[in-house]
Amino acid sequence: MNSLQGKQILLGVTGSIAVYRSLDLIRLLQAKGAEVKVIMTKGAQAFITPLTFSAISRNKVYTDIFQTYPEYPIIHLDLARWADALVISPASADILAKLAQGIADDLLTSTFLGCSRPVLIAPSMNPQMYAHPTVQANIAQLKKYGFHILASTQGKTACGDVGQGRLPPVENIVEAIESLFSKKDLTGYKVLITAGPTQEAIDPIRFLTNRSSGRMGFALAKTAYQRGA
């Protein structure tokens, strides 16, 4: 069952070099039947124009809490009510600090405070910034508040540094969004799943095997994770 069919996803994008990957995220969400509306911070607009996100999302892009939007008289609260989930990806170090401390100085942070729906945050930044104690403290605080944090991945970042801080693959972000809408009846359970072909030795040279691809095992693992295991 497609848990994203008909869902309304509010995507907040911030000032990170990984912001361009949010375009692929929108396409994947749309392919699964979700409608996406976008809030862009000033930092995000320094990398990509709102027109690009408007063309991909096929919706108006929202950028300014003080701008008049006829369809949404109280823009930050109306957008928060529209959304089935708020996804902030990529989330810069700056936005993490504001969210953790309750600062509401723009449209995205104000909408965050007014949102009672599930919130998923995907940090993306330089590895040294990601490892900084204040950033880690902000992430820990947001987790303590009950918000969903998708851990950054290891690898080479845009600046050339190697370490943790890369935005996860958009497929992983979509899976995390799907899990927001999945029932959590496996919470507290530990599930061990084997996947792929097996081999049974006949002698030192020959063995019996099968043509299993492992896809069923991976699908079971994904479902178990989404249901809280």
Distance (Å, rounded) from C-alpha 16 to C-alpha 31? 25
Is 106 in the same domain as 210? Answer: no
Asked, for residue 99, whether it belongs to a domain, the answer is: yes
Is 43 in the same domain as 154? Answer: yes
**Number of CB atoms found within 10 A of residue 228's CB:** 14
Is 108 in the same domain as 26? Answer: yes
Is 196 in the same domain as 111? Answer: no
Is 130 in the same domain as 69? Answer: yes
Asked, for residue 95, whether it belongs to a domain, the answer is: yes
- pLDDT at 34 > cutoff 70: yes
CATH number at residue 116: 3.40.50.1950
Mean pLDDT value across residues 3-27: 96
Note the pLDDT of residue 65: 96
Is 204 in the same domain as 224? Answer: yes
| CA angle, 186 then 188 then 192, to 5° | 70
Is 39 in the same domain as 151? Answer: yes
How does 118-133 read in b/e, with b if 16+ C-beta sit within 10 Å?
A: bbbbbbbbbbebbeee
Task: Note if 159 is an active site residue.
Answer: yes
Note the pLDDT of residue 83: 98
Note the pLDDT of residue 1: 58
Collapsing DSSP to helix, strand or coil, 203 comes out as coil
Is 136 in the same domain as 205? Answer: no
Residues in CB range of 94: below 8 A, 6 or more apart = 14, 15, 43
Is 196 in the same domain as 159? Answer: no
Mean pLDDT value across residues 158-174: 90
Asked, for residue 148, whether it belongs to a domain, the answer is: yes
Distance (Å, rounded) from C-alpha 213 to C-alpha 199? 13
Asked, for residue 173, whether it belongs to a domain, the answer is: yes
**Number of CB atoms found within 10 A of residue 137's CB:** 13
How does 8-27 read in b/e, with b if 16+ C-beta sit within 10 Å?
A: ebbbbbbbbbbbebbbebbe
The pLDDT confidence band at residue 161, using thresholds 50, 70 and 90, is confident
The pLDDT confidence band at residue 14, using thresholds 50, 70 and 90, is very high
Is 195 in the same domain as 99? Answer: no
- Give tens-digit pLDDT for 169-226: 999 999 999 999 987 788 888 999 988 888 899 999 998 998 888 889 888 888 888 7
Candidates 215, 224, 219, 214; CA nearest to 192 is 224
Asked, for residue 1, whether it belongs to a domain, the answer is: no
Catalytic residue among 74, 140, 151, 159: 159
Distance (Å, rounded) from C-alpha 155 to C-alpha 161? 8
Asked, for residue 3, whether it belongs to a domain, the answer is: no
Is 221 in the same domain as 142? Answer: no
Is 160 in the same domain as 195? Answer: no
- Give tens-digit pLDDT for 38-65: 999 999 999 999 999 999 999 999 999 9
Instruction: Name the residue with higher pLDDT: 211 or 10.
Output: 10
Asked, for residue 225, whether it belongs to a domain, the answer is: yes
Q: Give the residue numbers spanning the domain of 221.
A: 183-229
**What domain count does the chain have?**
2
Residues in CB range of 116: below 8 A, 6 or more apart = 80
Domain boundary (180, 202, 217) is at: 180
Asked, for residue 158, whether it belongs to a domain, the answer is: yes
- Give tens-digit pLDDT for 91-121: 999 999 999 999 999 999 999 999 999 999 9
Distance (Å, rounded) from C-alpha 6 to C-alpha 32? 9
The pair of three-digit structure tokens given for residue 124, joined into one six-digit string: 């993306």
Note the pLDDT of residue 221: 86
Note the pLDDT of residue 15: 94
